[in-house]
Amino acid sequence: MEGGRDNALLEAYFRGRRVACPKCSYNLRDLTFGGEAPVCPECGHPLEVLVSLQRNPGPPPRRSPRLERADKTLLKLSIVLVAVFAAAATLLKLLA
Ligand SMILES: [Zn+2]
């Protein structure tokens, strides 16, 4: 892209916005470049604006109600099994 336009885009982006240099984290807020190449005044890292579009990932997929019920049933079953084994162990200890 043409240098002057790049600088104008960068300056518009930095105006009133706290932006950290990607290399040294220097605050680039309100930075202007005049006609100079856009670099970080602290570390000299070249600066450029990149624009990307990302697809909205949307809400996480819902689990089926049937799967939810199966999960709850398995949890209850395992709790019951632990209780039964604990009772059996106690009973065996008493009988021994
Ligand atoms: Zn820097």
- Render pLDDT for 44-87 as a digit per residue (tens, 0 to 9): 999 988 888 888 877 777 888 888 888 889 999 999 999 998 99
Task: Say how many domains are in the chain.
Answer: 2
Length, in residues, of the chain: 96
State in Å: Cα 93 to ligand 1 middle: 71
Query: What's the pLDDT score for residue 50?
Result: 83
How far is C-alpha 54 from the chain's CA centre?
A: 14
d(CA 78, CA 22): 51
Whether residue 56 lies inside any domain: the answer is: no
Decide: 31 and 14 in contact? Cβ < 8 Å. Answer: yes
State in Å: Cα 79 to ligand 1 middle: 57
d(CA 26, CA 18): 10
Q: Based on the domain organization, do 38 and 74 belong to the same domain?
A: no
State in Å: Cα 19 to ligand 1 middle: 11
Q: Based on the domain organization, do 1 and 45 belong to the same domain?
A: yes
pTM: 0.51
State in Å: Cα 54 to ligand 1 middle: 27
Handedness of CA 78, 80, 84, 87 (dihedral sign): positive
Q: Based on the domain organization, do 21 and 42 belong to the same domain?
A: yes
**Domain span including residue 20:** 1-51
